[in-house]
Amino acid sequence: MELTHPGAADTSPLVPVTRPDPVPGEGEVLIEVQACAVCRTDLQIVEGDLEAHSLPLIPGHQAVGRVLAAGPGVVALAEGELVGVGWLAHTCGVCDMCRRGRENLCRRAEFTGWDRDGGYGTHTVAREEYCYRVPEGLTAVEAAPLLCGGIIGYRSFKLTEVGPGDRLGLYGFGASALLVAQVAIHRGCQVYVVTRGTPAQERARASGAAWVGAPGQQPPEPLQAAITFAPAGEVVVDALRALDRAGSLVINAIHLDHVPEFEYQHLYWERRVQSAANFTRQDSAELLHLASEIPIRTQHEEFPLEEANQALMKLKTDGVRGAAVLIP
């Protein structure tokens, strides 16, 4: 499913095309895609909120499949292994961010489904060192939603620095927040959820949240930390108001609209705000290990690959329960 010109999801900007199977280059593997989860970032690229770095483009950065062939120089992956491909496609390894162990901030990073073709197809090619073995016990469909919302959500959770007994607020309760809730509760945190819509609120309660409220409601107790998932700046201010002294707020969004003016008192008392940008390969390895250990359970709705436009439209209108997953 190829994007030639960005457009609104309801205009079906993705079109089915037939291409020759890609050929893996130096250090790359060819993967037969079994499942590719749909991310809100895909929607933002398809609709033009995030400018595509190259066109035509095959979107998708949460792909899972079997290794079919290896290019020259591949040493760790073998034919037949089940692997996942995420948002981070390549880093330079030499810039100041990479040297400091912060490859998620690499100044010359490349991203799957943005800089290079992704997983909205039957086959894809990825660099070996940016592929992740899927643990036994996870199917391709179960693993795919972990590879963006799961990993970046996990990084956001780490950035909050909360521990057992701490109160963590989750603002929005889509697929990413559902995965974070499972990790947080596993680590002994109390989870407080603010989200709109009865279905999302019911999912939050079923996940073990200590309290669930609607937008505009304040949790009954101050929070040690919060993560916002909605791409709306007003949610950032709501979360700040709920923080205790020395509380931390992490914004889990690649695109955010205008943050409204707010009183400095909401930031005072050494509260802090930061964004979560991308993820590292270490984040990926840690989350996939946790997914097997906890175990993490994903909720998903399957769509045939050729219905990618419908899946994006359903995601846009908050009609997906959990994560949308495309099946070639």
**Bond into 220 cis (ω within 30):** no
Q: pLDDT at position 191, please?
A: 98
Which pLDDT band, with edges at 50, 70 and 90, does 140 fall under? Answer: very high
Taking only Cα atoms into account, the Rg of the chain, rounded to an integer number of angstroms, comes to 19
Statement: residue 298 has pLDDT above 90: no
Q: pLDDT at position 219, please?
A: 97
Shortest CA distance to 175 belongs to which of 10, 315, 294? 315
Statement: residue 8 has pLDDT above 90: yes
Q: pLDDT at position 315, please?
A: 93
Shortest CA distance to 229 belongs to which of 143, 323, 134? 323
Q: Are 73 and 26 in contact, with CB atoms under 8 Å apart?
A: yes
Which pLDDT band, with edges at 50, 70 and 90, does 266 fall under? Answer: very high
Q: pLDDT at position 9, please?
A: 95
Alpha-carbon gap, residue 64 to 132, rounded angstroms: 9
Question: Mean pLDDT throughout 62-87?
Answer: 96
Q: pLDDT at position 137, please?
A: 87
Question: How does pLDDT run across 88-115, given as a tens digit for each residue?
Answer: 999 999 999 999 999 999 999 999 999 9
Handedness of CA 175, 177, 178, 179 (dihedral sign): positive
Q: pLDDT at position 240, please?
A: 96
Say how far residue 288 (Cα) sits from the centre of its chain.
Answer: 13
Contacts of 318 (CB under 8 A, 6+ apart): 174, 197, 200
Question: Mean pLDDT throughout 187-216?
Answer: 95
Question: Mean pLDDT throughout 300-308?
Answer: 97
Alpha-carbon gap, residue 39 to 197, rounded angstroms: 20
Alpha-carbon gap, residue 19 to 1, rounded angstroms: 10
Please name the residue that has the structure tokens 């981070």.
88
Q: Compute how many other C-beta atoms are within 10 angstroms of the C-beta atom of residue 42.
A: 31
Q: pLDDT at position 92, please?
A: 97
Q: Which residue has the higher pLDDT, 194 or 258?
A: 194
Statement: residue 297 has pLDDT above 90: no
| Token pair for 137 | 């016990």
Question: How does pLDDT run across 46-64, given as a tens digit for each residue?
Answer: 999 899 899 999 999 999 9
Question: Mean pLDDT throughout 213-226?
Answer: 96
Q: pLDDT at position 174, please?
A: 86
Q: pLDDT at position 312, please?
A: 97
Statement: residue 117 has pLDDT above 90: yes
Mean pLDDT computed over every residue of the chain: 95
* 3-state secondary structure labels for all residues of the chain: CEECCCCCHHHCCEECCCCCCCCCCCCEEEEEEEEEECCHHHHHHHHCCCCCCCCCECCCCCEEEEEEEECCCCCCCCCCCEEEECCEEECCCCCHHHHCCCHHHCCCCEEECCCECCCCCCEEEEEHHHEEECCCCCCHHHHHHHHCHHHHHHHHHHHHCCCCCCEEEEECCCHHHHHHHHHHHHCCCEEEEECCCHHHHHHHHHCCCCEEECCCCCCCCCEEEEEECCCCHHHHHHHHHHEEEEEEEEECCCCCCCCCCCCHHHCCCCCEEEECCCCCHHHHHHHHHHHHHCCCCCCEEEEEHHHHHHHHHHHHCCCCCCEEEEEC
Q: Which CATH superfamily is domain 2-146+278-327 in?
A: Medium-chain alcohol dehydrogenases, catalytic domain (3.90.180.10)
Statement: residue 255 has pLDDT above 90: no
**CATH number at 151-275:** 3.40.50.720
Residue boundaries of the structural domains of the chain: 2-146+278-327, 151-275
Q: Which residues pair with 169 in a beta bridge?
A: 192, 226
Statement: residue 326 has pLDDT above 90: yes
Distances (CA, A) of 97 to 111, 218, 253: 16, 37, 20
Question: Mean pLDDT throughout 218-229?
Answer: 97
Distances (CA, A) of 183 to 90, 196, 208, 299: 27, 22, 11, 15
Which pLDDT band, with edges at 50, 70 and 90, does 314 fall under? Answer: very high
Question: How does pLDDT run across 147-185, given as a tens digit for each residue?
Answer: 998 999 999 999 999 999 999 999 999 889 999 999 999
Alpha-carbon gap, residue 85 to 201, rounded angstroms: 31
